[in-house]
Amino acid sequence: MANLPKKEQFPRHIGVVMDGNGRWAKKNNLRRTDGHREGAKVFRKISDYANKIGIECITFYTFSTENWRRPLEEVEILMDIFREYLLKADDHREKNEKKGYCLRFIGDLEAIPSDLRELMRNAQQEILPTTKTIVNVALNYGGWQEIQHSVKQIAHKVASGELDPDKITIEDIEKGLYTANYPDVDLIIRPSGEYRISNFLTWQSAYAELWFSNVLWPDFQTDDLDSAIIDFANRKRRFGRSE
């Protein structure tokens, strides 16, 4: 563990784009699916570490709305990896609750296979007064689609006369987001050498700090997370205000 800043300097909510699994596999002369399995191990390690150091909320971009375009065999293997993780998560549920680790899922979950949705319902935990870290898994998630989801809810309220269109607020839109009960993301981490957020937490990241690294996700270590947090703590966040 690096010499981390004071807790009040930590980002409250971190978003992580888990990128580079396929390139890691190619680099190591392995199957692409081996990269995904290794990436799943890193997800567990980083989420456990986030809980250990006291990150309030961390959201992992696990499967996007665009990932369905990948080859069918790769998608099926990804779903199998999710199943394996969820079965283990259910086994560790009591232990995780004692640590204050709360597992949640966000995204358009109705498109996920029904057996997986059942496992997700079993593994998902309630946010309790003792909750120390919320770990969000973003499945079938897209930032544009999330905003669309919120706008549709508002449109129904307007159509029913429940809401005056001239009185729609920013808060009304935020209430319809999947992350309505969580703080806005403060820091987005993307490894693998790519410099974009790829439709991840599009609304919530309006003032997020971005941290990029050339490390491929399966090689991402707790020291890398430490480096991102330290860098975040040293940045000046003005939110449009002058110096």
- Distance CA(64)–CA(107), nearest Å, equals 9
Show the tokens assigned to 49. 């570490």
Is the separation of the CB atoms in 100 and 129 below 8 Å? no
Using DSSP's 3-state secondary structure scheme, residue 62 falls into: strand
Is the separation of the CB atoms in 142 and 64 below 8 Å? yes
- Distance CA(169)–CA(167), nearest Å, equals 6
Provide CB contacts within 8 A for 148, sequence distance 6+. none
Q: Which whole-number Å values give the CA distances from 95 to 7, 46, 105, 136, in the listed order?
A: 24, 17, 19, 18
Catalytic residue list? 19, 67
Q: Which helix (H) or strand (E) holds 36?
A: helix 32-53
